[in-house]
Amino acid sequence: MEDHARLFYLWQLYVDGRASREELLLLRTLLDIQENEKASRDWLVGQLEQTVTETGFSEQRLQAVLRSVRESGQTKETVRQMHFIKRYWWVAAALVCLMVPGYLMFFNKGHAAGPLTKTFQHFRNDLDPGRNRAFLTLANGAKVILDSVHNGMFARQGNATIVKLDSGKLAYDATGQESAVVGFNTLTTPKGGQYQLSLPDGTEVWLNAASSIKYPTAFMGNRRQVEITGEVYFEVSKNTAMPFIVKKLNDETEIRVLGTHFDVNAYDDEPSMKITLLEGAVQVADAGRQSILHPGQQAQIGNGTLKLLSDVDTDEVMAWKNGKFQFGEASDINSIMRQIARWYDVEVEYRGTVSDHIGGTISRGVKASQVFDMLEMTGAVRFSIDGKKVTVMP
């Protein structure tokens, strides 16, 4: 009975959002105690029934979730149910807490978790998350470190003044007088940086870490063209007379739009270039091949092929812009570490092979150790941090 009293107390702290990390770990430990496993499972089922009933969650769906708790206890089933009930995040979190030794929202597909004593590493040092950092290369080659620029106007390019807004965003304010000379500016984010830009035509642009965009200081003629590297999200200002063209630097791929929202992931170290459409329509052309994308679709270009995918998880694609890491069921440790390396500006070394697929969601605003703690709780992987080097081990 003492354990159940502690369970009830810790559960209430968790539901109220007041549980510390240590209390969450204790909750998980109590649920993992072998001799109390069935009793703890039955107790938590009762708590879930009460919590979910108050939300109006349908009986049929509730029973499907509870059946997976009572009978299977398998991570794979839990993951499937998590997608099924993702609106009810507190239930999904409780299921993961019960069925996967982890930190609420992380799962490891098909891997038995290690003992609690292996969960935390004592890292030699920690790493701060990325932030708004970038530098601007002007048409004359001069570089401006935007972190050190005060808000307000700080440069003039052709017929436009460049302004750093109070939000930190970079914007161009046209004077209304056309200039015969149009220069090109390049906005670049380092590893551990991100930035937002409003182009001269009003198009809104977000740059992920280790990315760049080259653009004219004024759009002239019959097209608006920019060149990018890394990952960039666009909300294009509509102008049917002047299509908006996005190209990857030193690449033939061309994305043509009139007015739409889309993400381009064009990192050189990724296996393919990915164009994901959220709103509107875009035409993707590459080496004579072309395809029209509709919302929820993604074009993947690599190894001489252009592949079109439907029903893409756009929340996962756009997680970086929304301040999160979101790793789907298909995420392997290599793809996860590429994202982490860019955001925390680290080198990654592998010792051994981690073959499992790990998924979950966590803020990009936390220190690196917190991300690694959560990933370690899946039991599939361990980390060490030494300076700017992260070692990944099974």
- Tell me, what CATH number does 335's domain have? 3.55.50.30
pLDDT above 60 (res 75) = no
Q: Is residue 324 part of a domain?
A: yes
Of 316, 338, 368, the position where a domain reaches its end is 316
Neighbours of 293 (CB within 10 A): 23
Measured CA to CA, the distance from residue 213 to residue 187 in angstroms comes to: 5
Whether 196 and 270 map to the same domain: the answer is yes
How is residue 96 written in tokens? 């993961």
Whether 31 and 41 map to the same domain: the answer is yes
Of 316, 332, 350, the position where a domain reaches its end is 316
pLDDT above 90 (res 142) = yes
Q: Write out the residue range of the structural domain in which residue 161 sits.
A: 131-316
Q: Is residue 361 part of a domain?
A: yes
Instruction: Tell me the mean pLDDT in the region 174-187.
Output: 76
Interior/surface letters 367-390, b for 16+ CB within 10 angstroms, e for the rest: ebbbbbbbbbbbbbbbbbbeeeeb
pLDDT above 90 (res 362) = no
Neighbours of 151 (CB within 10 A): 11
Least confident of 11-25, 129-143, 210-224, 376-390: 11-25
Q: Is residue 119 part of a domain?
A: no
Whether 333 and 354 map to the same domain: the answer is yes
- The model carries a pTM of 0.73
Structural domains in the chain (count): 3
Whole-number pLDDT of residue 19:
63
Whether 265 and 382 map to the same domain: the answer is no
Of 316, 341, 372, the position where a domain reaches its end is 316
Secondary structure class of 9 (helix, strand, coil) = helix
Whether 375 and 239 map to the same domain: the answer is no
Q: Is residue 123 part of a domain?
A: no
Angle at 22 between CA 3 and CA 107, to 5 degrees: 90
Measured CA to CA, the distance from residue 127 to residue 131 in angstroms comes to: 12
Whole-number pLDDT of residue 261:
97
Whether 67 and 152 map to the same domain: the answer is no
How is residue 167 written in tokens? 């939000």
Query: Residue 91 — pLDDT band, cuts 50, 70, 90?
Result: very low
Q: Is residue 368 part of a domain?
A: yes
Q: Is residue 42 part of a domain?
A: yes
Whether 155 and 94 map to the same domain: the answer is no
pLDDT above 80 (res 228) = yes
Distances (CA, A) of 141 to 172, 185, 186: 18, 9, 10
pLDDT above 50 (res 360) = yes
Q: Is residue 104 part of a domain?
A: no
pLDDT tens digits for range 325-353: 988 876 889 999 999 999 999 999 999 88
Residue for token digits 């549980």?
Answer: 19
pLDDT tens digits for range 22-64: 666 666 666 555 445 556 556 655 655 555 555 454 445 445 5
Whether 384 and 328 map to the same domain: the answer is yes
Q: Is residue 344 part of a domain?
A: yes
Whether 349 and 304 map to the same domain: the answer is no
